[in-house]
């Protein structure tokens, strides 16, 4: 019974984490990219304050990777996000059945538990404008968030999210 509790706690902890999927153009030489900037006309889907938090977190992370923000960049970054509300499909089933004398019957009732969880999907694209806006790297993340979190907590959340997103850059071929 005790190990069951720990297993359930572990699964709950793991399921609340951030999922990140990466994709990239296999023929890309990632060593050629040293400078970056953001598209001017990004529609990020973030509030103005969260937009600034996200850009500060990205700038800090890319600086640790040796990349420099420039007015004449090697590539541009595009950020898009949207809120996704996942419906909770968890239910508790109650059933009754019986049979005898060759007849069978049953009744089952599903009772929903919990609420839908709010998650945010963020897509980060790296685009080489000198090659007809060629997309060469992309990360798509989905993570839970609390819309009423304090500014400090939001800052921390974006820093952790960006850290996880850029674990896949440059890709390990």
**One-letter-per-residue 3-state SS of 72-137:** CCCEEEEEEEEEEEECCCCEEEEEEEEEECCEEEEEEEEEECCCCEEEEEEEEEEEEHHHCCEEEE
The arithmetic mean of pLDDT across residues 45-53, rounded, is: 94
- Are the CB atoms for 155 and 53 separated by under 8 Å? yes
Average pLDDT on 112-116 reads: 59
| Domain range annotation of the chain | 19-168
Confidence of residue 109 (pLDDT cuts 50, 70, 90): low
Residue 30 CA neighbour count, 13 Å, CB half:
16
Topology (CATH) of 19-168: Double Stranded RNA Binding Domain (3.30.160)
| Exposed e or buried b per residue across 11-26, where buried means at least 16 C-beta atoms within 10 angstroms of its C-beta | eeeeeeebebeeebee
For range 110-125, the mean pLDDT: 76
User: In this model, does residue 13 exceed pLDDT 50?
Assistant: no
pLDDT value of position 34:
97
Q: Say what the pLDDT of residue 94 is.
A: 57
Quote the pLDDT of residue 169.
Answer: 96
Q: What is the pTM of this model?
A: 0.73
Question: What is the C-alpha to C-alpha distance for residues 121 and 140, in angstroms, rounded to an integer?
Answer: 7
77/40 Cα distance (integer angstroms) = 10
Q: Which of 72-81, 86-95, 133-142 has the lowest mean pLDDT?
A: 86-95
Question: What 3-state class would DSSP assign to 17?
Answer: coil
pLDDT at 101 over 90: no
Over range 97-119, report the average pLDDT: 61
Instruction: Give the pLDDT confidence of 21-40 residue by residue, as tens digits.
Output: 999 999 999 999 999 999 99
* Average pLDDT of the chain to the nearest whole number: 82
The tens digit of pLDDT for each residue in 133-172 reads: 999 999 999 988 787 899 999 999 999 999 999 999 999 8
């Amino acid at each position: 019974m005790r190990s069951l509790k720990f297993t359930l706690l572990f699964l709950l902890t793991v399921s609340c984490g951030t999922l990140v999927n990466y994709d990239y153009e296999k023929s890309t030489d990632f060593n050629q990219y040293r400078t970056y900037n953001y598209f001017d006309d990004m529609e990020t889907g973030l509030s103005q304050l969260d937009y600034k938090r996200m850009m500060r977190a990205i700038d800090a992370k890319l600086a640790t990777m040796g990349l420099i923000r420039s007015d004449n960049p090697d590539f541009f970054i595009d950020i898009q996000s949207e809120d996704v509300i996942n419906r909770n499909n968890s239910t508790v089933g109650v059933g009754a059945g019986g049979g005898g004398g060759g007849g069978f019957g049953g009744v089952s009732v599903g009772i929903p538990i919990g609420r839908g969880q709010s998650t945010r999907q963020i897509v980060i694209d790296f685009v080489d404008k000198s090659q007809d806006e060629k997309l060469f790297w992309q990360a798509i993340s989905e993570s839970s968030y609390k819309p009423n979190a304090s500014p400090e907590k939001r800052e921390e959340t974006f820093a952790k999210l960006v850290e996880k997103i850029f674990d896949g850059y440059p890709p390990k071929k």
